[in-house]
Structure 1
């Protein structure tokens, strides 16, 4: 059944490149029709007919753009615009799908496709993944852009840290230029031709992931781009399971990494007025894992995202067809299997719960120490290049493809190592401190951006400040009561790049020299604690990567935060615990850590519906084990209702009050998925009818006065009638 879109909000959506399909019709608010292929108009019409708000999503750095590449668009071959590494290899996302150097010509090609989407009624455009690999920078197109931008001959990025840094800054600028040009041009096109406003969004990996994976993207630059309306935080198992080091052990820490990734994306837009959707993926790009592996990691990313309360919009699934219509390896390795029915039901439950989050602004957290941040800047991406991208034996060359990242090897592990960041971050997250990665680049543009922070950690060993004015903001924040913890020994070779701090009459050897002078501490203070105004500074002259290698390093991070709070005069000590928890209205999300204070489980006291259970089981005082997360609906916190749908793995509409002993609603869900719906009723009903058939799979819980019913999903909607009296 189609529904009018004028009164609908865009709380949740998904992206799909295929035409409409009933088995992956998730019944969200909007659909991002993916790609500008020849059948674009037909695909838009198919999804619009089903009542969806239509967005377009297309890749801004890669896509099925063979028409452009092979000269069929403008008569010129454009393969010289493919990102190319030092060895002359083009960096590919797939066959005939290179990552592109974003030239003016390429942006004009994209504009032609975007116009078609606007002509077909798309209300928003998503330009996905502006990505330039650090390994690139050797194509003829990039050399041309270097000469135009720097007005000098091209310098190979591998020749020096300065060349690498400047190449990466140019890469970020080129994608900013393309996005700015496209967004402004297409908004004008929509206004002139249709007198309507078009919104533009950028789906992008987090700054943390791009830096770790050695990719350059505009990130914080886009917050100041007038025509950019917001972002999708592309955080999922594939990014978050990238291994990192804590106390000398390198392993997957999906929850902790996802928590930090969602955190920096929240901070990217906090206070800016820009929109943000958090993405979740029930599987990932690597098709070689089992459903049980996907499920555990999906739950970790969902809980991690919910712990950031300033975001309540979600992309609930990329590519739902590959979730509901593609098989993946069995547990025993013998063949493949389709999605387990219970996992399919659980996914739909979570997706509709996420759509409900915007209604619950009342947020409470379980006795935690807030106001602790770790500063992170765009420039972290600029210094991830190597002078020589080959191993000593010459057998391996990192080519910057997705397949290179998802296939583990010792070479990849070392190249993806980013212990300088994780050495400061993980010790706090592991002990239940909701650390926020704070976007350093935002300090100059948004007054009061640091008002919520009491303690900030900072190191210039893995990033650099791009403007001297940042230090004036930090200095004022410290004098007004903030405490800065600076970690760095000055060993990073990128301190010597040609930048503002080492130019002019008052040149500084390193950017932290300018920082400390701006604070009033002299250029090169030694280890120690320093009082500054109402706040203070703690200096530790060690490279932050060393802190990831030992337990002593992790302990130092936590102890330094304790000392910083004491310097501020805070009465409450650092509250360390082995879990993170948040309550958003009746929803309670909890994650219990491993490698923490204790290996004990955590009991969540009360009566709840388990939202990670396909049957929406009622549980009393549920126990969450270390390394696990939970998402619960608190029956005691929920409003008293005589007859209402409490939780469903379907989208509920046309819910009516009890009339003449009957209670009715319509339930929409993908075809073939078993829907679980739990109702709160004044009494056990005599009958439950779903589209004319008695619901057999049902159970009454007298203690909570709730009824669970289960029935097949129908996208157009199943009419459910609950009958209390005899006909």
Structure 2
């Protein structure tokens, strides 16, 4: 019943069409440009999909270009290399290096992408524009440095200034290549085919790229008219990266995912750009069990649904590896295919995601809107500034054990940011990351927030006018909590606040950008604590923000500073409500997560009747009790009930089409992966007397269960080898009258 043209849900796949992973979403992103691409595109189109193309913009099978087969000139000097001269590779074999996006490389990509345009795709996704922090030593990068900065190249590890400038250049180079590619191909599609082509950038979150020490354009792409939006590539592999809270380093998948999805929602808030949230039922690391994958997948789904500003989803990358792959069983080392119950749950969730564009949103946290600033520049200072410091290595989540043995785990933690965010999240305060760079892009960007946390100890403001907007927000009644002790060595880079002519006041030198901000706020006293500015205030906690993650004392100190600011400006403790859970209602859907390491170990009780959408048999429950560490996606039976006598779908692990109601019953067509067990629960005005399935011209009885309290029926069936089946339920006229 969902219109495919809305492109609510989709997936990416490099393999040809196969009925075993025909998920029946709205669109598919055919992955990769090779000689099979046109055929793969036509196969998926023939099955009713809207077809996009996805290809890597930083890495891929580009050996023909590297070896000189394209233009007669070898290009191996355009591979990203580290300070030891080693290429930075995607995977291990074959040799696929990450690329420096030169003008020549951009020209090569445009020629390849033109083939996809000719094949008739409606949109193109240029995936993961990534430049590793420990790169910047290849000959091509040295040339780009000389052209951009008009000075000789300096090794990025030589000083904080060199590292910061190298990272800014890396972000610029990928911005340049994306702008050229998207603009050129849009022009080509419109001229040649009179088709308006769309371009999207699938990218990790700013939080993850910073934590994994990768530089990417991120928010800069919003300024490119040729880029139509993003896919937020957030999944268990990014969100299970360990962080430190109250001195304990461990995986916190739900909390990290909440922050990652939050910053991606924030990236496009107030714009016309599309954002899809990604989930992955597996991940790139193949060494976990099915039970582990499921547990962490459900955490990421719940975390994403707590951000109602986004209602479009990539439901799976690589469904072939999910539904055809083998992974460890729950017990032992034996690898097996996907458990049937997990497959059914996945399809229930995937099709439910297509209905998340709900007008009615209810939360328990409307009074206190808290934001934690993060900027693109956080990616620019992710190398220790000592020239003799060892290279921290490459971390991509696929081999965490090896990294923790050889790499710099403390640097990977990204504790300055998590020190601001986790103490609030763990007490049920819905702190969302706020994109500092957007403050100067959009008027009133900060208006929804009442409390903002800021530190310049792990990022820097790129432009001084950001402070004018921040000062105005405070003076209009906002509460700013500034955390920092001006100890970051990156305060001393060449920048507008310490004498660079771009400051507009070259005779004024500030030792840190904080000093310039406080000057705009009219703060005269140089001591920590609360100071008023206009109708608002600033509470300065003069410690490095990493301190707030290193112990319970540090976390309590951060929470106390925020609470003091809230109490002073709003005059009531009612705005601050510590709790051990998050809960939101989107139309009839209830999403909840109960926190571990929180204010209590109490369970969250949600009254029914509700349908458990994480349950493969979609049970109707009169009450749900969630313990710490558990999540739920529920359907409110009462809120969603249709008018008397109507049949309405609640949830199904199929694409449901042509639902029709007659005096004798109802029928519909269910589509999905071949032969998988599927379930559907529907409101039904009367108990059916029979349910049958029809496929290939044959009729067979279906399994069904009637729930008289909720007046719903559960149907169980298989999609069949042709990926679709007709389901028909009948009731008697006497039963219906009764």
TM-score over 0.5 (shorter chain): yes
- CA deviation profile, 1:291-311 (whole Å, cap 9, x unmatched): 000000000000000000100
- Between the aligned partners of 2:369 and 2:445, the Cα distance in structure 1 is 12
2:490 maps to what in 1? 494
List aligned pairs for 1:122-137, cutoff 5 A: 122-137=121-136
Structure 1 position 386, deviation (Å): 2.8
Q: Does 1:722 align with 2:729?
A: yes
Q: Does 1:431 align with 2:431?
A: no
Q: Does 1:566 align with 2:542?
A: no
- Between the aligned partners of 1:121 and 1:241, the Cα distance in structure 2 is 38
**How large is the RMSD of aligned CA atoms in angstroms?**
1.8
1:57 maps to what in 2? 54
2:198 maps to what in 1? 199
- CA deviation profile, 1:161-198 (whole Å, cap 9, x unmatched): 00000000000000000111111111100111011111
1:701 maps to what in 2? 707
- CA deviation profile, 1:469-496 (whole Å, cap 9, x unmatched): 0000000001100011001011100000
Q: Secondary structure at the match of 2:52?
A: strand
- Between the aligned partners of 2:667 and 2:343, the Cα distance in structure 1 is 25
Q: Does 1:352 align with 2:336?
A: no
- CA deviation profile, 1:390-436 (whole Å, cap 9, x unmatched): 877xxx86146664557451434223111100011001111111111
**Partners of 1:368 and 1:433 within 8 A in 2:** no
Q: Secondary structure at the match of 2:673?
A: coil
- Between the aligned partners of 1:475 and 1:69, the Cα distance in structure 2 is 50
- Between the aligned partners of 2:392 and 2:258, the Cα distance in structure 1 is 31
2:679 maps to what in 1? 676
- In the alignment of these two chains, the number of paired residues is 718
- Between the aligned partners of 1:676 and 1:112, the Cα distance in structure 2 is 46
2:719 maps to what in 1? 713
2:503 maps to what in 1? none
- Between the aligned partners of 2:153 and 2:436, the Cα distance in structure 1 is 30
Structure 1 position 553, deviation (Å): 1.4
**Partners of 2:89 and 2:96 within 8 A in 1:** yes
2:549 maps to what in 1? 548
Q: Secondary structure at the match of 2:41?
A: helix
- Between the aligned partners of 1:221 and 1:270, the Cα distance in structure 2 is 14
Gap change, CA 1:541 and 1:6, over 3 Å in 2: closer
- Between the aligned partners of 1:6 and 1:430, the Cα distance in structure 2 is 39
For 1:30, which of 18, 27, 49 is the aligned residue? 27
Q: Does 1:645 align with 2:640?
A: no
Q: Secondary structure at the match of 1:356?
A: coil
Gap change, CA 1:401 and 1:297, over 3 Å in 2: closer
List aligned pairs for 1:498-647, cutoff 5 A: 498-503=494-499, 504-522=506-524, 525-571=526-572, 572-641=574-643, 642-647=646-651
2:659 maps to what in 1? 655
- Between the aligned partners of 1:669 and 1:371, the Cα distance in structure 2 is 41
Structure 2: gaps spanning 5 or more residues: 500-505
- Between the aligned partners of 1:259 and 1:132, the Cα distance in structure 2 is 25
- Tell which deviates more after alignment, 325-334 or 220-229: 325-334
Gap change, CA 1:556 and 1:369, over 3 Å in 2: farther
Gap change, CA 1:216 and 1:405, over 3 Å in 2: farther
- Between the aligned partners of 2:600 and 2:215, the Cα distance in structure 1 is 39
- CA deviation profile, 1:315-346 (whole Å, cap 9, x unmatched): 00001000000100123333201000000000
- CA deviation profile, 1:109-168 (whole Å, cap 9, x unmatched): 111121111111111110000000001000111111111111111100000000000000
Structure 1 position 660, deviation (Å): 3.7
- Between the aligned partners of 2:246 and 2:471, the Cα distance in structure 1 is 32
TM-score between the two structures when normalised by the length of structure 1: 0.96
2:68 maps to what in 1? 71
For 1:21, which of 13, 18, 21 is the aligned residue? 18
**Partners of 2:468 and 2:520 within 8 A in 1:** yes
Structure 1 position 49, deviation (Å): 0.6
For 1:686, which of 677, 689, 708 is the aligned residue? 689
Structure 1 position 272, deviation (Å): 1.6
- Between the aligned partners of 1:602 and 1:402, the Cα distance in structure 2 is 32
Structure 1: gaps spanning 5 or more residues: none
Q: Secondary structure at the match of 2:486?
A: coil
- Between the aligned partners of 1:401 and 1:626, the Cα distance in structure 2 is 29
- Between the aligned partners of 1:206 and 1:236, the Cα distance in structure 2 is 10
**Partners of 1:93 and 1:401 within 8 A in 2:** no
2:257 maps to what in 1? 258
Gap change, CA 1:558 and 1:6, over 3 Å in 2: closer
Structure 1 position 550, deviation (Å): 1.3
1:483 maps to what in 2? 479
**Partners of 1:246 and 1:422 within 8 A in 2:** yes
- Between the aligned partners of 1:348 and 1:6, the Cα distance in structure 2 is 18
- CA deviation profile, 1:67-106 (whole Å, cap 9, x unmatched): 2122222222111111100111100013221111011111
1:162 maps to what in 2? 161
Q: Secondary structure at the match of 1:656?
A: strand
Gap change, CA 1:408 and 1:333, over 3 Å in 2: farther
- CA deviation profile, 1:198-217 (whole Å, cap 9, x unmatched): 11111000000000000000
2:80 maps to what in 1? 83
Gap change, CA 1:6 and 1:437, over 3 Å in 2: closer
Gap change, CA 1:296 and 1:369, over 3 Å in 2: farther
- CA deviation profile, 1:611-640 (whole Å, cap 9, x unmatched): 111000111111011011011011011132
- Between the aligned partners of 2:301 and 2:387, the Cα distance in structure 1 is 36
**Partners of 2:235 and 2:279 within 8 A in 1:** yes
- Between the aligned partners of 2:284 and 2:234, the Cα distance in structure 1 is 12
Structure 1 position 387, deviation (Å): 4.3
Structure 1 position 370, deviation (Å): 3.2
Q: Secondary structure at the match of 2:732?
A: coil
**Partners of 1:286 and 1:406 within 8 A in 2:** no
Structure 1 position 569, deviation (Å): 2.3
Structure 1 position 389, deviation (Å): 8.8
TM-score between the two structures when normalised by the length of structure 2: 0.95
- Between the aligned partners of 1:349 and 1:70, the Cα distance in structure 2 is 47
**Partners of 2:20 and 2:673 within 8 A in 1:** yes
Structure 1 position 693, deviation (Å): 3.1
- Between the aligned partners of 2:548 and 2:258, the Cα distance in structure 1 is 20
**Partners of 1:327 and 1:336 within 8 A in 2:** yes
